[in-house]
Amino acid sequence: MGAATSPSVRKRSRGTPSVPFDDDNAARLALANRVFFRLHQCANLLHKTGSSALEEEGLTTQQWAVLAALSRPEAAGGMTVNELARYLMISRQNLSGVLQRMERNGHLAGGADPRDGRARLITMTPPGRELWQQRALPKIAAYYGRAVEGMSLEDLTRALHYLLTLLDNMTALDAPEDG
């Protein structure tokens, strides 16, 4: 990532006037390079400023994502580690550590799943729910408000669409051996 200069990729689409394709391809690669460079910086800065915004609550952006997931009506009965990991698109192994820290802090509790002895049902504790609703959510709203300043609803919609496109493409890249 970062400032990769485009390598000398020589491809010729048959019948095309020869020059436009290469120019277009080079421009696409240069732009892709800049997009991914900034994407990476954005994610780092999001984590940094987001965690800083909830510093008093001791919540990182990952932990707030977990609380957000568990606060949904669909998750009223709790979620298993695997369900949470799939929902958040992180590995079970990573989530396992995050959950341990949040249980240690008293925000979460994990009980046995009555329907599956292998699974653990993760739920918010009353203090965790209180923290989320009373203290975290207002700060998150303020944070989001400042973070998307200057962007219209249409801008946000388009940005979301682009991110979903990139996610789709990279998901395909992630599992090439079964296609």
Partner DNA sequence: CCCACAACGTCAATATATTGACGTAGACTA
Partner DNA sequence: TAGTCTACGTCAATATATTGACGTTGTGGG
Q: Which does 76 bind (CB under 5 to 8 A by kind): a second copy, DNA, none?
A: none
DSSP state of 48: H
* Contact with DNA (CB under 7 A) among 13, 16, 94, 165: 94
* Whether 109 contacts 103, CB under 8 Å: yes
In the region spanning residues 36 to 55, those forming contacts with DNA, defined by CB under 7 A, are 40, 44, 47-48, 52
Residue from 21, 27, 100, 130 touching a second copy (CB under 8 A): that is 27
Show the site string, 54-93: x = touches a second copy by CB under 8 A, - = not.
Answer: -------xx-xxx-xx-xx---------------xxx---
- Looking at the DSSP bridge assignments, the partners of residue 168 are none
- The site partner of 19 among DNA, a second copy, none (C-beta below 5 to 8 Å per kind) is none
